[in-house]
A and B are shown apart, each in its own frame.
Chain A
């Protein structure tokens, strides 16, 4: 099973600042089958990035993803008020199970 470790656990930033979230895998994620999700309180997760670096439909370009192998990053170039949420990485490439990281909470400083 691929274990995903996200850091930091919490990121305290102000609107307009840049957010950099990390996701490290315990073994190589094949074909970059790595997705990022955003979750707001009381809502289901929403996919942001797939294939490590492709924005999902309707996701603004202030969100970008990068990385390969075992190290992946989600960057939010300039935080908007609606971006304060919890973010999860997920690998979907290996045989079951799919696994998620523990999440990074981006909170208003």
Chain B
């Protein structure tokens, strides 16, 4: 049974970067894909990208290309999502979830609130 634990809430200034972590326990970390999904306040779900940790191959949604980097550390079973050049409309809850690439998303982490404010 895979369990995903995310890092804590962050407050960032516009123009800065944030790096959110997602540690996996249970299951075989190298055998699955991890996706990142965000949800702005009161809004829907938006897929940002995914990574296959064992290959360190990441794919990103077009609208985040150049601003998001997803990496993995297989020794600690942790995936990271770094978003740069933050703007106020990047304020959102960021979720990691197992899946993506012809696999549905399950389970999900509890989410990490990132607030971008001057």
A residues adjacent to B (C-beta < 8 A): 1, 31, 33, 35, 37, 39, 44-47, 50, 56, 88, 90, 92-93, 96-103
Contacts and interface: CB of A to CB of B under 8 A. Distances in A.
Interface stretch (B10-18, B39-47, B75-83): B39-47
A47 B110 contact: no
Contacts of B53: none
Given A44-B109, A88-B44, A103-B44, A96 B59 contact: yes
Contact of B102 (A88, A92, A101): A92
17 contacts: A1-B62, A31-B102, A35-B104, A44-B109, A45-B105, A46-B108, A47-B104, A47-B106, A56-B104, A92-B103, A93-B102, A96-B100, A97-B47, A98-B35, A100-B45, A101-B44, A103-B45
A98 B62 CA distance: 11
Contacts of A103: 44-45
A100 B46 contact: yes
Query: Which one of B100, B103, B105, B109 has the greatest number of beta carbons of chain A within 10 Å?
Result: B105
Contacts of A50: 104
B61 A96 contact: yes
Contact of A44 (B60, B99, B102, B111): B111
Interface size class of B (residues with CB under 8 A): 20 to 34
Interface in B88-103: 95, 97, 99-103
Contacts of A45: 45, 95, 105, 108
A81 B103 CA distance: 30
A45 B35 CA distance: 13
